[in-house]
Amino acid sequence: MNPAGADGSAGQAAADGWPPDDEILALAKNENIPLYAEAYAIAHLYNRISQALAAQLGKEDLSWCGFAKWSSLAIGFELRLNEHSPFFKKLTRQYHLPIMLGSPFRRLMLVLMGGSYSVGLSTANRSIFVEMGSFHTQILSETDPITIWQVEPADPKRFLLADLGNDGRDLLRTARDLLRQARPAAGPARSELMLGASIALSAYEQKRVQPALEYVFYRAPRWGLQVFWRMPYYYLTRTTDKRQDFYLKPHSEQTRWMQRIEDRWVRMYSKSLWLKTAVSEIMLSEPLITPPGGNRSLLRPAATFTSQRVAELVEQYGPPDTTKLTGVGNWLDYGERMRFIVTYFMLYQQIQEMFKEPHHKQPGPSRRKPRAVEPVGQLVFKQVNL
């Protein structure tokens, strides 16, 4: 089995600049670098794929990987949790805390977030990188049929990714078909097809990582109300891993009062989320506006798109009224999240600055030991035919 693809295209990938599958898998499996550094490295590999796609599909419309590099860069910022963390500095400014309270605030947040925060974010980011990265290398090498690498659970009872079954593969097939149609297309027709492919891919990956997001967001109230007071007993009986059963329990199976507490916590947490791109910093809880250098040519009702499949995707996942945009009140709401993401694609897809390579400040050498990946975050890979 050739990890570079069915046609053995590792040499072609090296020649044309995109990473072959073995490089993608090696990065996702690397446990000897900090999680934030891994997220930065993923952003740069996304950029290589994005540049290769632009060489084949034109440099007018940003691909899904072009958007993903900015998301992975943001995850890298959020995974830097040391004393000089830009993530905590940003939160401190957002909540208007005095500088002297910065360090106690950071320690409090680390207790509330626990290991679930880093494990959940990095697992989602690495998993989607493997699946989307291998998907796009097949698109670039024009392999038919397409075979991608997919993540499967090491422990089926404790898995941070949703099994989407054939519905998920249908979304990937839709993206594949739209990208293939985009090759010979030009102008507005190509822009529509590129937008449709990005929507289908995000519909897949956002649904896929839903359990990981819930694992991250719900951890704080569950630790405080369900786990904290049980930990002495777990330590005495050497069963500390049982806390994961509380963190992984579906929100719908919680009691009503616990659901209300979790909903309020998530809505408060959602107000602190942001995404820094090449041209602006986006607060995810606020309505999107036309960015510098952007236009609203793709921000329009579903009925105005000429491709029927793209129109269906915009109708299903896009904003219901393109004249009244809203932010996301609850980032765990899949429909709300997708509406915002589709609007983001519509407004930013044709901004040339978004094609640039992402940059970040290199932190000093870490004195910490290599990370220890909890069993719930361990990744196992298999190949899947579309």
Residues 304-345 have pLDDT tens digits of 999 999 999 999 999 999 999 999 999 999 999 999 999 999
> Do the Cβ atoms of 288 and 343 come closer than 8 Å?
yes
Q: Indicate the SS3 state at residue 30.
A: coil
pLDDT given at position 1 = 36
DSSP code of residue 321: -
Rounded percentage of the chain residues whose pLDDT exceeds 70: 90
pLDDT given at position 153 = 75
The beta-strand segments (E) located in 124-269 are 147-153
Average the pLDDT over each of 1-5, 39-43, 131-135 and give the range with the smallest value.
1-5
Q: Which residue has the higher pLDDT, 76 or 195?
A: 195
Largest CA distance in the chain: 66
Angle between helical axes of 86-94 and 64-79 (0-180°, round to 10): 80
Domain definitions of the chain by residue range: 18-385
Average the pLDDT over each of 31-35, 63-67, 144-148, 262-266 and give the range with the smallest value.
31-35
Report the chain's mean pLDDT, rounded to a whole number.
88
pLDDT given at position 374 = 53
Q: Residue 364 pLDDT more than 60?
A: no
* Region 366-385 average pLDDT: 63
> Do the Cβ atoms of 93 and 188 come closer than 8 Å?
no
pLDDT given at position 2 = 40
pLDDT given at position 372 = 45
pLDDT band at 93 (very low <50, low <70, confident <90, very high): confident
pLDDT band at 13 (very low <50, low <70, confident <90, very high): low
pLDDT given at position 115 = 81
**CA 342 – CA 244 distance, rounded (Å):** 33
Q: Residue 14 pLDDT more than 70?
A: no
Q: What is the pLDDT of residues 265-281, one digit of tens each?
A: 999 989 889 899 999 99
Q: Residue 348 pLDDT more than 60?
A: yes
CA distances from 221 to 110, 111, 214, 369 (A): 13, 11, 12, 29
pLDDT given at position 112 = 77
**CA 260 – CA 270 distance, rounded (Å):** 15
The first and second tokens of residue 223, run together, are 């630790």
CB atoms within 10 A of CB 139: 25
Q: Residue 52 pLDDT more than 50?
A: yes
pLDDT given at position 375 = 52
pLDDT given at position 59 = 92
326, 329, 331, 334 alpha-carbon torsion, rounded to 10°: -70
pLDDT band at 3 (very low <50, low <70, confident <90, very high): very low
The first and second tokens of residue 286, run together, are 């606020």
Q: Indicate the SS3 state at residue 283.
A: strand
Predicted TM-score of the model (pTM): 0.90
Q: Residue 222 pLDDT more than 60?
A: yes
Q: Residue 4 pLDDT more than 50?
A: no
Query: What element of type H or E holds 150?
Result: strand 147-153
Partners of 274 in the β-ladder: 283
The first and second tokens of residue 254, run together, are 């919680």
* Region 280-303 average pLDDT: 93
Query: What element of type H or E holds 276?
Result: strand 274-276
